[in-house]
């Protein structure tokens, strides 16, 4: 009996050890599943907190999309699609150049998700005359085959041209106040996009593309640009060192970027992303511009300066190459050498900005 006791105690110890291990394993498994379950919810919560009441309509996790069988050229691990340009940022966001993507794969992907895209355009004052050309060329080149809402912000709704649209595409005319100065127009552009993202866009579209009113599409612009947040390299500054970028440098402005910081110079004429991300961006820029306004300072390139500041600290998940932002007039200002250098790397001009936004 006395001998049995230690044996029993031994088995008990052994059993309790096994039990502890078992419990530990269960705890680990629970922790793991809890983590998997919590993670998307935590992200959702973060999005909701960031975007106030913006509902999460985006579906950026493409894993659950089942692609059909497709035949296309094999991606080559040992050959770069382009050797003359940067293809990915140091934070691993792709830079979108001709020759680096297969649009058929991307189309399968985005079509399976029934992606709907909103294009916001400001056509205020006399810039309304550019709208017809923009819409007509968008019908030929912009997100062809997708559901598209054109959100036209204008102070002259009666002047909006009625042009025939493809199936699944519609025009939504949104009246905005007419401000006398361009400063106020740019300031309120950010505010208006932010307000509408929160109030309506999140119910209607998955992605927003925010474009300047004075431009036309000259080539395909499709789902290759879509990402939770994207910016576009300004064609006039893509090759310069950061201290030569026309960032706002004065510390009094909210848009200030010190000389030793900065990735790229992004254009204010084309940016976008998922609705919650565009809401965050436009709200932050609007608030920063209001602070500047109250301290009686205008950033050197107004909302473009604030956009550059925002994208420095909120890295975009895709960057569009200057193919997406050609501007003949501005390039003329930089001279033939710059234009020729750019023409060597830009094999497609997809979007052409017509002049400078500030002119009346």
Ligand X SMILES: *[C@@H]1O[C@H](CO)[C@@H](O)[C@H](O)[C@H]1NC(C)=O
Task: Report, as residue numbers or ranges, the catalytic residues.
Answer: 304
From CA 224, how far away is CA 96, in angstroms rounded? 7
Q: Shortest Cβ distance from residue 192 to ligand X (Å)? A: 5
Using alpha carbons only, what angle is made at residue 317 by residues 314 and 321, rounded to the nearest 5 degrees?
110
Please report whether residue 287 would count as binding ligand X according to CB under 6 A: no
Using alpha carbons only, what angle is made at residue 312 by residues 59 and 299, rounded to the nearest 5 degrees?
120
Instruction: Please check if 304 is assigned to a binding site.
Output: yes
Using the rule CB under 6 A, which residue among 98, 139, 191, 304 binds ligand X?
Answer: 191
Instruction: Please check if 136 is assigned to a binding site.
Output: no
Q: How far is CA 190 from CA 60, 127, 211, 263, 294, in A?
A: 24, 18, 12, 23, 17
Q: Shortest Cβ distance from residue 250 to ligand X (Å)? A: 27
Instruction: Name the nearest CA neighbour of 343 among 316, 312, 322.
Output: 322
Instruction: Please check if 124 is assigned to a binding site.
Output: yes
Residues 6+ positions from 164 with CB-CB distance below 8 Å: 139
Helix (H, G, I), strand (E, B) or coil at 213: coil
String marking each residue 102-141 x if it binds ligand X according to CB under 6 A: -----------xx---------------------------
Residue identified by tokens 């002047």 is 159
From CA 276, how far away is CA 206, in angstroms rounded? 9
String marking each residue 160-189 x if it binds ligand X according to CB under 6 A: ----------------------------x-
Q: Shortest Cβ distance from residue 132 to ligand X (Å)? A: 25
Report the residue number, 43 or 114, with the smaller CB distance to ligand X: 114
Using the rule CB under 6 A, which residue among 192, 226, 278, 353 binds ligand X?
Answer: 192
Using the rule CB under 6 A, which residue among 195, 228, 256, 352 binds ligand X?
Answer: 195
Residue identified by tokens 């709200």 is 283
Q: Give the residue numbers of the binding site for Mn(2+).
A: 212
Binding residues for UDP-N-acetyl-alpha-D-galactosamine: 122-124
Known binding-site residues equal 122-124, 212, 234, 304
């Amino acid at each position: 009996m006395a001998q049995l006791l230690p044996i029993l105690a031994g088995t008990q110890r052994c059993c309790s050890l096994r039990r502890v291990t078992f419990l530990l394993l269960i705890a680990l498994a629970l922790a793991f599943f809890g983590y998997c379950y919590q993670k998307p919810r935590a992200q959702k919560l973060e999005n909701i907190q960031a975007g106030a009441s913006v509902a999460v309509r985006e579906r950026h996790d493409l894993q659950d999309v089942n692609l059909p069988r497709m035949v296309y050229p094999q991606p080559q691990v040992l050959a770069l699609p382009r050797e003359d340009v940067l293809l990915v940022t140091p934070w691993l966001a792709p830079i979108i150049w001709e020759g680096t993507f297969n649009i058929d794969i991307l189309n399968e992907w985005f079509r399976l998700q029934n992606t709907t895209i909103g294009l916001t355009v400001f056509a205020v004052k006399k810039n309304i005359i550019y709208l017809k050309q923009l819409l007509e060329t968008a019908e030929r080149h912009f997100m062809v085959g997708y559901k598209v809402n054109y959100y036209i912000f204008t102070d002259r709704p009666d002047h909006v041209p009625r042009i025939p649209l493809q199936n699944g595409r519609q025009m939504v005319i949104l009246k905005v106040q007419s401000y006398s100065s361009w400063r106020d127009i740019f300031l309120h552009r950010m505010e208006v996009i932010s307000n509408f993202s929160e109030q309506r866009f999140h119910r209607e579209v998955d992605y927003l593309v925010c474009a300047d009113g004075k431009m036309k599409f000259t080539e395909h612009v499709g789902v290759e640009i879509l990402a939770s947040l994207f910016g576009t390299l300004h064609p006039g500054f893509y090759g310069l060192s950061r201290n030569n970028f026309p960032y706002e440098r004065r510390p009094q402005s909210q848009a200030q970027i010190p000389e030793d910081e900065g990735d790229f110079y992004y254009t204010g004429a084309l940016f976008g992303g998922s609705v919650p991300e565009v809401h965050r961006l436009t709200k932050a820029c609007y608030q920063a511009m209001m602070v500047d306004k109250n301290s009686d300072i205008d950033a050197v390139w107004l909302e473009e300066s604030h956009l550059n500041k925002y994208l420095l600290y909120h890295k975009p998940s895709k960057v569009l190459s200057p193919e997406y932002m050609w501007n003949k007039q501005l390039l003329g200002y930089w001279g033939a050498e710059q234009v020729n250098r750019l023409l060597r790397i830009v094999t497609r001009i997809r979007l052409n900005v017509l002049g400078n936004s500030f002119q009346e």
